[in-house]
Each structure stands twice: as C-alpha cells, then as structure tokens.
A and B are shown apart, each in its own frame.
Chain A
Amino acid sequence: MEVIGRSVIRKEAADKVTGRAKYTDDFESVQMLSGKMVISPYGHAKIVNIDTANAWKVPGVRAIIAGKRYPLTGETIRDRPPIAVDKVRYHGEPVALVVADTPAQAKTAADLINVQYELLPVVNSPTEAFQEGAPLVHERLGEYKKEADSYPVPGTNIATHTKIRKGQMEKGWAESETVVEASFSFAPSDHAAMETRCATAEIFPDGKIIIMTASQAPFMAKRLIADYFGEDMGKIIVHTPLVGGAYGGKAAVQLEVLAYLASKEVGGRPVKIFNTREEDILTSPCHIGLDATVKLGADRNGMIKAAEIRFWWDGGAYSDKAIDVSRSGAVDCTGPYNIENVWCDSYCMYTNHPYASPFRGYSHSELSFVIERTMDILAQKLNIDPLELRYINAIKPGDTTPTRVKLTRSNVGDLRKCIEKVRELIKWDEGAIKEVNERIIRVKGVSCSWKTSTIDANAPSGAILTFNRDGSINLMSGVIEIGTGTKTILAQILAEKLKMDVDRIHVRMEVDTQTTPEHWKTVASRGTYMAGRAVLQAADDVIRQLKEVASCVLRAPEEDLVVADSRVFLRDDPSIGLDFKDIVYGYQYPNGNSIGGQIIGTGKFILRHITHLDPETGEGKPGPEWAPAAYGVEIEFDKRDYTYRLIKACTVLDIGKVMNEKAALGQVMGAMSMGLAFAGRETFYFDELGRVLNPQLRTYRPLRYGENPEYLVGFVETPHLDSPYGARGGGEHGLMGMPGALGNALSLAAGVPLNCLPLIPEFIWRAKKTFK
C-alpha cells in the first residue's frame, strides 16, 4: 500500500496553523444580531414570574422571548421546552432569550430580566431519583411523544430501562465459587471542547432557513427542526465549518433551535448565539454521570460464570441522547469478557442535573471503570494476577456478546494480543508495586475495554466525487472535521484506490446539508468505516466511467484497462493511454466531436444486519464490529498525603489497520489525556440546590501541559473485513480504559478499593479513613 498508513499531512493543516481556519463564531456580518440567554440559577424551581420591563429599555434590544410555549423538543422523548416554561429542571436551563444589536446590549438586557422562582425539592443523583417517592422531574412523562424504542415509566424518574437477559443466572451462580460485588458512583462532568458551542440562524422570505452551527450532527439538526416545528425540510440548510473539538458534546441539537426561534422573533434577521464557557458547561449538554453495582462470579480457575450489573445513568433533566447512551452501556455491559450468564438493568434516570449528551466512548469509559475495578477486586479475591484474569476471560471469536451476537475474528479482533503487548510495554512482569523511598511508591494498574457503535440501524453515509479540468478530484462527504482528521483519511482511501497522488485530491472541509451527501452524524468513530465505504463505491463508479470513455477512444475492451497515476491505460502497454484531464469533462476528437461528458462519481453506504434490541432480553445486533483494547497506567504515589503523579499511560488497541500513523497516535494519546483527566480530576461539584459549583476552566481543570504522563501506544491489526482496508474505529478507545487502569493502580497503592471518580487525593484520604 502506498498511501494508507502514511502520516499524510492533514489537508487543513496550513489553515489551522495560520489562524485562517474558520469556525462558526468566526463568521460575522454587519446585520447579524446577538442572542443572549438568561439561565436558571437553580436545579429545580417553579417559575413564578418573569419581568422583562427593564430589559426592554436597553437600546438595541429587538426581541425578548420568555414564558412562550413552543413544541417540546428532544431526540428520543419530546420532553424539553426549548426555553423553560412553568418550571426549571436544571442549573443553567434557558429561561429567557434576548436578541439585540450587539453582544454587549444583549448581555446588559439579559442581566436586567428579573425572574422570580419558588424552589422545588431537588433530585440530586440517579440513586435518589430511583427511590420510591422521589420528587418527579417530569410529572407528565406519560404524555410525551417518543420514539418506539424508549421505555419511560410514568410516575417515576425512569426515562428508559434496557434489559439484558442472557443465559441462566442460577446456573452461573451455582458454578461460581467466588463472588464479588461492588458499587460505584461518579457525577456528571463536561466535554470542555475549546470551541464553545455556537449557532446562527437566518430565515428568508421564501421560507429558507439557513443555520450555521458548531455541530457533529448538522443533518440531524435539519431533520429535528423540520420535525419539531413543522418546517419544510428541504428549506432548511445547515452549514458546519470546521469544529473546534466535540467529543460527543456537539452531537446534540440545542443552540440551533434557539437561534432559529430567535431569528423568527425578529422577522428572519440573522441571529447568533454563542455560548460563554459557563453556559457551555451548564446550559449545553454534559458528560453523563453514573451510579452502578456489579456482581461477578467465577469458578476456581478464574473463569467468570455470571455477571449481574445495574446501571443508573444520570441523564439529567432531559433525556435527549442519554437514552441511547444508557442502551449502549447495556449492550456491552460485561466489558470484553466471555460471560455466558448475564443480567443487566440499565436505567436512564431523570435528575435535576444538566442533561447529558454522548461523551467520547459513548458510555464505554463509564462502564469500563465499573467493570474493570470489579475485575481487580475479583482477581484479588481469587489471588490471580489481574492481567492474567483478563487474559483467560478475554472475549474471542466463537463467543457471544451480552446481546448474543456471535463473534468472529473480523468483528471482534484480538484482545489477547492487545493484553500481551500491554504486558510488555508496561513491563508488567517486573511487578505492580515498586518502592522508591519510604514515602513514594511506583504502582501499575491495568484494564481492558471494547466497544461497538450503537448508531441507528439505518444510518446512511454518502460521497460525491467531481473532477477539475486538470484531472484532480474534489471529494465531498458529510463527515464533519471535528479534529480527528477523518477527511484526510478519506482522501487517502481514495488515493489508494485510484492509485493516485493524494495531493491531487481536494477535500471539501465544510459541510452543508443541501449539497453535501448526508453522513448521519460524525460520531462513534464511524467516519472511516461508513464514509470510507461510500468513497470506495464512488471510486468504483468513477473508474467505471473513466474506462467506458477510454475504451471507446483507445478501441480496447474495458477489461484491458488500468487506472493509476491519474491516467487510464492499457494493461500491457502503459504508454498507450489517456490522462484524466483529457477525459473527465468528455473526450474531444480532433474534428471537434465529443463523447462522455463530465464524470461525477457517487457512492453510498448503510450498515448491514443491524437490528433493534428485544425489549425483554436485549437480544439483537447493535453494531457492526467491536474493537478491543488493553491498557496500563503507572503512577508515583505519596503514601503520606495521597497525592500522585502520572508516570506512564499505555494503550494497545486492535485498530484493524493504521490508516495514518501520526493521526492514529494523536487520536489515541489525546483520548488518553482526556480519560486521565476524567478519571483523576474532572467532575461537577453540586450543592444541595443542584447547582454546579465549578463551571469555569479554573475550577474545572482538564490536563495542562506538563501534567501529562509519558504515553505508550501499541497497535494490533486484525482486519475488520467489511471496513476499508480493515480499519476499526480508533478515536475513542484511548480514553475508555484510563479510569479503570488509574483506579486500579491507586486502589493498589492506597490499599483501599476506590470506586468513585474523580480520584483526587482528598477522596483517597476519605476512603482510607472510612475503610479502617
């Protein structure tokens, strides 16, 4: 292979290092108005009165929206008023929206809106939400419109319940000599993409609605706005330029709706809504929290016989994407281990917390933490090496998943190889604990993970190829460039297929829903697979058309022709052929006659054999393949004050095929950085009123330069046969195992089970105190 695997420089590199790359907020026009939200200061409260009189006096104010009833929104259950009415359900919820000429005027006016609240009892955790008699976040849950595959329970805070019932539990427990059980908990946190969310909307006299948004899901924004408000879908055009980090957080549709409503309120004039950091953390969807219990049973050899798992996801005030996240957690609930008897109840709970959107790994970093901690507890009880316990139970071809999908080498990869490689890279055999001095010890922890993508069974992707007259190609795909470099990889896939110079392939970075073929959503590490397949099909289409014209001109059968180096030529004599540039806009004979015409290639892809899950047993095929991974983390732990330093973090991932080496390394290492921050420090701190106390980057702290460990990355390449060149998804895995591995290292170091996140020294100190 020539281009696949090479660290091809990203297509948008020059724009990004010169400040010329444009993101949503960079687009401004003189007539653009500014929207500013007024947000709820409480977690749960009745709205008694909203006084806008003073706000209207501010010069430049064009509209104020408050107390207005719009159709309810929400992707799975329609439970969310775009702007709160009657009551607020989370700290940060939009209560009013001001539109003014400038951001400063809008802010001044927003600050003058006086909202009177009456406090309501707060549901402050999913466990609280699950208690009988808990205050209800949604009193009218039974009346909401919903999708067929969600199962809310009216009269409770359960937004949906996913059940996995596989095998026979009694048999599993009977075969288990050793049983362990543990409970886990962590609060919601944030994606903290450096670009805060932003959306603009403008409505034209002919009904055209032009939206621009920092989103992973412009096609979904179009669909939902049409659905929610009865707009003509073809008149909604959503533009997405480059996106400044997303990690799942920009897969939800929210500000687009507000911008649309604001524009409507001012006669269609363009309005921009730009989140401040505080709004981005509070108001826009966050990273889901979780309470869980896990019970595992194993025989005397350490073979796991039964797993009983309960998840209470903190979906927050509105269910939006949390329902899917909670389902995705159920389908892979056991982690990458072969267990025949599985019982899982996964509840998506309503609470008075900011609501959740997907987070890199889509429930898998969260479930991995609880499973991997339990695995270490089990290993300890069995007195087996924790890495060995994982190795002997590792999922493999022939096994079935919790939803009973039969696994093959192609769809599950090779976890054991990943484990072996981690063993080497972190020098596991040298021992998990090493004393540095009487205060400091060096400790290692390990973990594993797997993941399939549970995207919609009928999610589409498409690609269009057009030519320039010099024979170079334009590639159009609906994949958003959110930072993963997928669009460059698509160019590599095309270059490899057409055996041409990747520099002669021009990729359109921006997406607009009118002229770019739909790619469902840029989520779930599925860009390379789905869009890649569409590109391959489009390439075949182009090859066919090229050969058709060339065959006529060269008077040779199509089967004797080869496409390479931007030419079509005879297999046995490459000197006889035609350059792309001479045929892609039709071939002209010397006398002027022309044949062929413009060559346009199209390709499409849809996943095969994905099914809905059986509501009683969970049986069904949720995704196309599972990529497994193994991890290690090494820390230096201070036994006196429980502080620690990250020394090394390691991921070995079965990526199927490395498509672009440096890009792949960057994805895995960047994900590890995020996973370590999630595990070690990131959380929302709530008070008793459900308020988030740390909605700023000085109190909510991602890793900074120099706080990072050394990163070790290894790849295993077991091809996924359906995917271009065998590639598996790889953008999320680096993150998924970090909480488990760090939790295991610290639990070993501290000598107490640490089953909550984040793993800050104060928590370790408390755990030590209560454990004694």
Chain B
Amino acid sequence: MPLQTITLHINGENRPTTVRASDTLLYALRGRLGLTGSKPGCLNGDCGACTVNVDGWPMKSCLMLAVEAVGKKVTTIEGLHDSPIQQAFVKEFAFQCGYCTPGFIMNCHSLLEQHPDADDQTIKEWLESNICRCTSYIEIEKAVKAVMRGE
C-alpha cells in the first residue's frame, strides 16, 4: 500500500509523518511518532486504552485513521502536564498497573472540560467506555470528583 506524508497537529506541535492510508491514528502515534502513552488494548474500540483528545473530544485512536486526523487538534497523554486530573489520579491511587491509565485520564480530562459539573449519570456515560481491570473504579470516581470540587 502506498505511503503518504501527512502533517498531524499533536500536543501543540506540527508533526510530519509517513503513513499508509489504512494506518490508524493509534498506530501512527505509537509506531511513527514514538508517542507510546496511548495503549493498544483491543484495537477495535472496546477498551478505551488508546483514548486521545481530538478537537476537545475523547476519541479512541484505534478507531480513527491517521489521515482523518489531518487538520485536527490532537492531544495525547504526553500533552498533559501536571493537570489536576493527573494529580488526582496519583493522590487517589486511581491506577495500579497503569496500562488503562493514559486512556482513562484522557477521557476524564475531556469530561472535565466539557462538563465541569457532570452528575453521576453523565460521568458513568463517559467513563464506561474504558476498562480498568485492576482498580475498583471507586478510586477513579474519587479522582474525577476531587477535581470537580477544585481540590
């Protein structure tokens, strides 16, 4: 399959990269750009480990082609620096093995931006798209709510 060079806007930088038309954004991020924070967990949208933020919305990067991301603003876990939700995850022990963590944090981060006062139902609707096999989710709930309360 022919390769093409595209420019992705990632974490505030323009990153030219060479991809096949069928490469997913996840594959390009990890394999081409070395941004391995986004994780492959299922490669078909079931687990959320690959979640990034595209134009302000959470997106499973295994379900989006790299070429579709051209012209969009992509933020990956590497683009967050000491954000409140990252701090809250540390404080609340909201991770164990850490594999689901980047995806969860990106989803939570988008949620907090879009719905800073989300009620329990909204939080559930957003976060049930990610799987964490280690924690009980209570820790993640606490982390999200701590940020909402501005702690």
Contact = CB atoms under 8 A, between A and B. Distances in A.
Contacts of A176: none
Given A18-B77, A192-B133, A277-B41, A706 B93 contact: no
A612 B91 CA distance: 45
B38 interface: yes
Contacts of B146: none
Main secondary structure of the interface of B (DSSP, over half): loop
Q: How large is the interface on A (under 10, 10 to 19, 20 to 34, 35 or more residues)?
A: 35 or more
A705 B137 contact: yes
B89 A194 contact: no
A193 B96 CA distance: 12
B99 A245 contact: yes
Given A244-B99, A711-B136, A19 B77 contact: yes
Contact of A483 (B76, B97, B127, B131): B97
A13 interface: yes
A242 B42 contact: no
B99 A672 contact: no
A8 to B, nearest CB: 11
B16 interface: no
A15 B86 CA distance: 11
B97 A243 contact: yes
A18 B127 contact: no
A705 B130 contact: yes
Contacts of A698: 44, 46
A22 to B, nearest CB: 7
B137 A194 contact: no
A235 interface: no
B101 A16 contact: yes
A673 B77 CA distance: 26
B36 A666 contact: no
Given A9-B90, A17-B86, A670-B134, A244 B37 contact: no
A698 B44 CA distance: 9
A64 to B, nearest CB: 21
Interface string A1-39: 000000101101111111111110110100000000000
A673 B80 CA distance: 29
A745 B95 CA distance: 30
B32 to A, nearest CB: 10
Q: How large is the interface on B (under 10, 10 to 19, 20 to 34, 35 or more residues)?
A: 35 or more
**B22, B97, B124, most chain A CB atoms within 10 A:** B97
Contact of A104 (B20, B92, B120, B130): B20
Contacts of A243: 97
B137 A708 contact: yes
B98 A244 contact: yes
A25 B124 CA distance: 30
**A104, A485, A705, most chain B CB atoms within 10 A:** A705
A483 B98 contact: yes
A361 interface: no
Contacts of B93: 7, 10, 662-663, 665-666
A542 B149 CA distance: 46
Contact of B133 (A12, A17, A25, A194): A194
A463 to B, nearest CB: 23
Contact of A485 (B37, B46, B96): B96
A52 interface: no
Interface of B: 1, 20, 22, 30-31, 34-44, 46-47, 49, 76-78, 80-81, 86, 89-93, 95-102, 105, 120, 123-124, 127-128, 130-141
Given A10-B93, A17-B86, A666-B135, 14 more contacts: A9-B90, A17-B89, A17-B105, A19-B102, A104-B1, A194-B99, A242-B97, A244-B99, A277-B46, A483-B97, A666-B93, A670-B134, A696-B44, A705-B132
Interface of A: 7, 9-10, 12-23, 25-26, 28, 104, 192-196, 242-247, 274, 276-277, 482-485, 662-663, 665-667, 669-670, 672-674, 696-698, 702-708, 710-711
